[in-house]
A and B are shown apart, each in its own frame.
Chain A
Amino acid sequence: MPGKQLTPTDEFVKGLWRENPVFIQVLGMCPALAVSNTAINALTMGLATTFVLVMSGISVSTLRRFIPREARIVSFICIIATFVTVVDYVIQAVSLELSRALGAFIALIVVNCLILGRAEAFASKNTIGRAVLDALGMGVGFTAALLWIGVLREILGAGTLFGVALFPDGFQTWTVMVLPSGGFLAMALWLLLVNWIRDRQEKSAKAAQGVTR
């Protein structure tokens, strides 16, 4: 008998923190670091990935009985690549500037381990409704994580937030934050924070158990 079925809300919420793709599962780091040098890039990337997650989740879940076991990875990759192509064209149509800023990284969503992982681990084994909730949760969690990194890097590295200057002219920006090293360091800082919080949660959970035993 498989583990207990999560409530629909839980399916959605788990992607936000408990199984956050970037900080807990440590999946999909490439785009997380590459395009998070400004907040708007991070947001666009997060939304694009969420779109692909949801659409491919729906497709995989709808077609799950139709896809034989042996051909499933190839099928998933095809489906994901299709929606990535779609989102690439949509972004170009909406804003040429954003498309240029993100460059090839929109196309790189197709190799984001997160999407293939969710398709394999979840969408192919669950109903459409649950697949959508799971995809949305992971997508929002992913976007939030990207935004965390992007906001930190933009504020420290450029002194702006979504292009709006926050500090008076004299502010000496920490340019390293918008450079690749800054990406690694920003992620390391947030990861440390996340680890610390989880550590405390575990300790308090253990303490509570110890008291009742």
Chain B
Amino acid sequence: MNDASLWSIFLNSALINNFVLAYFLGICPFFGVSSRLETAVRMGGAVSFVMLVASICAYTINWILAAVDAPYLRIISYILVIASTVQLVEMLIRKLSPATFRAMGIYLPLITTNCAILGLALFQTNRNYDFVQSVVYSLGAGAGFALALILMAGVREKLDLANVPALVKGTAAALVVAGILSMSFMGFAGLGR
């Protein structure tokens, strides 16, 4: 049972301890997909949705594992559920919007190995959030992830047009931008207290 208020949980996971910029979770898609704004928005949406579902599933699994006293199955059951959720989301997107499906390409199944989703499940378990807190946490995390992704994409699109030395181009430049973004997000500390 955790005493934090819902609003502070949301602000915390979205801004103050943004999953990408503070916890380094979800970096692979962050650098892979953030070069174009459109794909970034879609990825942000997909990840947010998977996070919400994963959060609810993780809460349920944890409850079951506690009931049968099998904490050692946590890692393996979390990751299997996440993998299945991603499969389902993939199928859904393919049905609902084939264009989005093609645009996202390999990055959709890669959401499975997105540390952010498993990280979300593990953090909410470690902090003993109840059901409502977990849902709010995942909504905040998804929003924060999408926000970071979109900001990054915006900057990188502009950066592509700038005169960047060849050595720095690509990942190194993205890393520096991420470092600066991370510093700026630190300014949110203390919000909502």
Q: Smallest CB–CB gap between A79 and chain B, Å? A: 10
Q: In whole angstroms, how far apart are the Cα atoms of A26 and B171 in the complex? A: 9
Inter-chain contacts of B103 with A (CB < 8 A): none
Which residues on A sit within 8 Å (CB–CB) of B172?
188, 191-192, 195
Alpha-carbon separation in the docked complex, A85 to B73 (Å) = 8
Interface residues on A, range: 35 or more
> In whole angstroms, what is the CA distance A185 to B180 when docked?
9
- Tell me whether B26 and A191 are in contact (CB under 8 A): no
| Complex interface bits, A6-39 against B, C-beta within 8 A gives 1, otherwise 0 | 0000000000000000000011011101100000
**Hey, which chain A residues are within 8 Å of B83, CB to CB?**
73-74, 77
Q: Is A188 touching B167 in the complex (CB atoms < 8 A)?
A: no
Q: Is B65 an interface residue (CB 8 A)?
A: no
Residues of chain A lying within 8 A (CB to CB) of residue B74: 85, 107
A61: shortest Cβ distance to chain B, in Å?
20
Q: Among residues 139 to 193 in chain B, which have CB atoms less than 8 Å away from a CB atom of chain A?
A: 166-168, 171-172, 175-176, 178-180, 182-183, 186
A101 to chain B, nearest CB (A): 14
Q: Contact between A104 and B24 (Cβ–Cβ < 8 Å)?
A: no
Question: Residues 90-128 of chain A: 1 if any B CB is under 8 Å from the residue's CB, otherwise 0?
Answer: 000000000000011001101111001000000000000
Q: Does B51 contact A (CB under 8 A)?
A: no
Docked-complex contact B79 and A104, CB < 8 angstroms: no
A173 to B168, CA, bound (A): 27
In the complex, the chain A residue whose C-beta lies closest to that of B21 is: A180
> Do A108 and B179 touch across chains, with their CB atoms under 8 A apart?
no
In the complex, B27 has a CB within 8 A of chain A: yes
Answer whether residue B37 sits at the interface, using C-beta atoms and an 8 A cutoff: no
**Does the CB pair B167–A85 fall under 8 Å?**
no
Is the CB–CB distance between A107 and B122 below 8 Å? Answer: yes
Query: Given A34-B23, A181-B182, do A111 and B115 touch, yes or no (CB 8 Å)?
Result: yes
Of the residues A30, A89, A181, contact of B27 by C-beta under 8 Å: A30
Question: Which A residues have a C-beta under 8 Å from some C-beta of B?
Answer: 26-27, 29-31, 33-34, 73-74, 77-78, 81-82, 84-85, 88-89, 103-104, 107-108, 110-113, 116, 176, 179-185, 187-188, 191-192, 195-196, 199
Closest A-B pairs by Cβ, 3 of them: A184-B179, A188-B175, A81-B76
Known pairs A81-B80, A104-B126, A179-B186; list 10 more (Cβ under 8 Å).
Answer: A27-B28, A30-B26, A33-B27, A74-B80, A77-B79, A180-B22, A180-B182, A191-B171, A191-B175, A199-B167
A–B Cβ pairs within 8 angstroms, 13 of them: A26-B31, A29-B28, A29-B31, A31-B24, A77-B80, A78-B80, A81-B79, A85-B76, A89-B72, A111-B117, A111-B118, A191-B172, A199-B167
